[in-house]
């Protein structure tokens, strides 16, 4: 937690009104352009998946296997980031197309869509970076803020982060079950049975598809397909972890006490979203592959606007921030991820004051 700029009630109101104006303008402009965009991404994702799975059947040829893994990895990333994440936010509900409806859409991920929409859309986006409320701060296993009391278990911070990265879809899946609360005795397993049952049902379906059905269809080359699917899932997990953590935990991102929520106005909510987010600078490919979460600031401000619009409004958002003297946290992927890694390593250790010898 860091010192946050104080704004008067009048400034907060004006700040909120300017951001509301951006949101209202985009909503009024939504139409076929947005629908055509997401349908085009869906077509691209499906073609890449078909190509990837087909190439894996030729896995005995190393170039074909590598190309298959690459195509399938990109397909899974697009499915989760630009398609699934954004559709389930309700960004395309205005189209009234069942295929683009947040109510019925589900993704290629171990986490059931309904559970994700609660843990992410409701708990995270409503209470962004409020310690003790937003469970995305550390995902229940990591110490990601100095305000989190240190415990010897956090010496494993680097290991926990590594495991969360390679198993990210499963970390996201069990997030809503609050397994850490169960381990600490604050919640019983019985309380989470319905959630865990849903996770198992979804995970089982994913495993049957990637590790039984498609390998079986490969006949004598089943092991190549099995390994290719496992590799694509690993790449998707690590990439998603990287993008999410770069948008939430690099240097300069702030956290908040629960008291921040008391009588929080619209303008104050916008301010908290801004201060609790960071952007990643890059080109069109990075924005597409990140689901436009490279514009995490704009996403936290306007989670229900089509994400491909964020780049267009980012310049205006940044200009508003400058006028109100608010920071606009942005940097390259390398810069942001480097600071995330530094934070993970630094916060694994006890506070420096705790290591100093007591004064006589």
pLDDT score, position 6: 79
Q: Is the confidence at residue 5, as pLDDT, over 90?
A: no
Q: In degrees rounded to 5, what are phi and psi of residue 330?
A: -145, 150
Per mean pLDDT, which range of 41-55, 139-153, 311-325 is the poorest?
139-153
Strand partners, 332: 281
pLDDT > 90 fraction of the chain, expressed in percent and rounded? 84
Three-state SS at 121: helix
DSSP state letters, 144-173: -STTSPP-GGGGGHHHHHHHHHHTHHHHHH
Query: Within 13 Å, how many C-alpha atoms sit on residue 291's CB side?
Result: 29
Q: In degrees rounded to 5, what are phi and psi of residue 142?
A: -105, 150
Query: Within 13 Å, how many C-alpha atoms sit on residue 277's CB side?
Result: 26
Mean pLDDT of the chain, nearest integer: 93
pLDDT score, position 130: 95
Confidence of residue 358 (pLDDT cuts 50, 70, 90): very low
Q: Which of 296, 293, 306, 256 is nearest to 127 (CA)?
A: 256
pLDDT score, position 11: 96
Q: How far is CA 344 from CA 88, 160, 174, 247, 254, in A?
A: 30, 10, 21, 14, 15
C-alpha triplet 235, 338, 253: angle, nearest 5°: 105
Confidence of residue 357 (pLDDT cuts 50, 70, 90): very low
Q: How far is CA 150 from CA 87, 142, 164, in A?
A: 38, 10, 20
| Residues found in the chain | 360
Classify burial at 239, counting beta carbons within 10 Å of its beta carbon; exposed 0-12, middle 13-18, buried 19 or more.
Answer: buried
**Mean pLDDT across the stretch 73-91?**
98
pLDDT in tens, 269-293: 999 999 999 999 999 999 999 999 9
CA pair distance 30, 92, nearest whole angstrom: 9
Per mean pLDDT, which range of 2-6, 19-23, 155-159 is the poorest?
2-6
Classify burial at 58, counting beta carbons within 10 Å of its beta carbon; exposed 0-12, middle 13-18, buried 19 or more.
Answer: middle
Confidence of residue 356 (pLDDT cuts 50, 70, 90): very low
Q: Is the confidence at residue 111, as pLDDT, over 70?
A: yes
pLDDT score, position 264: 96
pLDDT in tens, 156-212: 999 999 999 999 999 998 877 777 777 777 777 777 788 889 899 999 999 999 999
Return the structure tokens found at 266: 């619209």
**Mean pLDDT across the stretch 125-139?**
92
Q: Is the confidence at residue 86, as pLDDT, over 70?
A: yes
CA pair distance 337, 187, nearest whole angstrom: 34
DSSP state letters, 263-332: T--HHHHHHHHHHT--EEE--HHHHHHTTTGGGHHHHHH-TTS-GGGHHHHHHHHHHHHHHTT----EEE
Tell me the whole-structure pTM to 2 decimals: 0.93
pLDDT in tens, 236-251: 999 999 999 999 999 9
Per mean pLDDT, which range of 130-134, 153-157, 335-339 is the poorest?
130-134
pLDDT score, position 359: 43
Q: In degrees rounded to 5, what are phi and psi of residue 247?
A: -85, -15
pLDDT score, position 3: 47
| Domain regions of the chain by residue span | 9-29+121-350
Q: Where are the alpha helices (DSSP H) in 167-265?
A: 168-175, 179-183, 189-208, 214-217, 222-248
Q: In degrees rounded to 5, what are phi and psi of residue 281?
A: -85, 140
């Amino acid at each position: 937690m860091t010192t946050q700029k104080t704004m008067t009630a009048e400034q907060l109101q004006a700040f909120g009104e300017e951001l509301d104006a951006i949101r209202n303008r985009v909503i009024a402009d939504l139409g076929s352009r947005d629908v055509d965009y997401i349908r085009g991404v869906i077509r691209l994702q499906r073609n890449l998946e078909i190509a990837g799975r087909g190439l894996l059947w030729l896995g005995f040829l190393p170039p074909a296997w590598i190309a298959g893994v690459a195509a399938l990895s990109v397909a899974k990333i697009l499915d989760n980031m630009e398609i699934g994440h954004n559709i389930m936010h309700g960004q395309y509900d205005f189209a009234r197309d069942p295929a683009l409806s947040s109510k019925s859409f589900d993704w290629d991920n171990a986490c059931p869509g309904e559970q994700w929409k609660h843990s992410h859309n409701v708990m995270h986006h409503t209470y962004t970076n409020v310690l003790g409320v937003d469970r995305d701060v550390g995902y229940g296993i990591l110490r990601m803020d100095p305000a989190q009391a240190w415990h010897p278990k956090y010496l494993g911070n680097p290991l926990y982060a590594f495991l969360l990265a390679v198993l990210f879809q499963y970390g996201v899946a069990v997030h809503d079950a609050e397994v850490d609360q169960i381990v600490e005795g604050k919640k019983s397993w019985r309380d989470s049975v319905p959630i865990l049952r849903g996770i198992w049902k979804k995970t089982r379906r994913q495993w049957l598809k990637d590790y039984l059905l498609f390998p079986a269809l490969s006949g004598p080359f089943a092991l190549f397909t099995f390994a290719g699917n496992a590799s694509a899932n690993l790449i998707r997990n690590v990439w998603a972890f990287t993008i999410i953590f770069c948008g939430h935990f690099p240097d300069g991102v702030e956290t908040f006490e629960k008291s921040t929520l008391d009588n929080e106005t619209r303008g104050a909510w916008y301010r908290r979203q801004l201060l609790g987010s960071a952007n990643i600078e890059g080109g069109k490919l990075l924005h597409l592959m990140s689901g436009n979460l490279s514009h995490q600031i704009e996403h936290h401000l306007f989670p229900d606007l089509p994400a491909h619009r964020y780049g267009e409004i980012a310049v205006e958002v940044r200009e508003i921030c400058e006028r109100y003297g608010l920071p606009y946290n942005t940097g390259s992927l390398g810069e942001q991820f480097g600071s995330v890694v530094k934070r993970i390593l630094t916060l694994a250790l006890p506070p420096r004051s705790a290591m100093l010898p007591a004064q006589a």
